[in-house]
Amino acid sequence: MREFNLESMEDLLPETARTIASLIGFEATQALVERFGGVCFPLSRGERDLRGAGERRLSMLSEVIGEENTRKLVQRFAGDSSLEIPRCARALREWRNRCFFADVDALLEEGESLRMALTLTAPRYGFANTWAWHLMATRRQPQPQQAQRCLF
């Protein structure tokens, strides 16, 4: 599977991920999502963040995205109930599927049959054969909006 690229999936990202990326850039946001996706980081403006669990949380963030980026996040999100790091599951699924399709296409170009290409590729992505066929079927179907545009 190719290396995940969060920026190429920008249109599928939740608003929080786009906000974070606008503050610290896509590379740092991707590192944050990969390490802490789905985790909430309480951030306060007071001294409490400088002691105990607050200091530890900030240290964890700094380890992944650096002190300057951590400072930017604290400035933007401090006072909110917490900084929720999105999982970006939709974008990750779409990336995985694009990589799967690219791998299948490469095998087809090498002369493999679709059945053999799916047999070889599906296990690498953790798919059952039936799910691989389902993905291929959904890929072939035009999106409803696209089909509608073709009528006019």
Question: What is the DSSP code string of 69-89?
Answer: HHHHHHHHHTTSS-EE----H
Q: Cβ neighbours of residue 67 under 8 Å, at least 6 residues apart?
A: none
Q: Closest by alpha carbon to 88, among 32, 28, 134, 22?
A: 32
Entry pTM: 0.71
Rounded CA-CA distance 7/30 in Å is 8
- Above pLDDT 90, what percent of the chain? 59
Q: What is the mean pLDDT of the chain?
A: 85
Is residue 4 scored above 90 in pLDDT?
Answer: no
Q: Where are the domains of the chain?
A: 6-84, 89-151
Residue 142's pLDDT is: 55
152 pLDDT tier (thresholds 50, 70, 90): very low
Rounded CA-CA distance 5/16 in Å is 17
CA distances from 142 to 24, 43, 132, 137, 146 (A): 36, 45, 18, 10, 6
What 3-state DSSP class applies to 41?
strand
What's the pLDDT tens digit per position in 117-133? 999 999 999 999 999 99
**DSSP H or E run through 40:** strand 40-41
Specify the long-range contacts of residues 96-102, CB closer than 8 Å, at least 24 apart: 96/1, 96/125, 97/135, 99/1, 99/2, 99/125, 100/125, 100/127, 100/132, 100/135, 101/135, 101/139, 102/2
What's the pLDDT tens digit per position in 86-102? 999 999 889 899 999 99
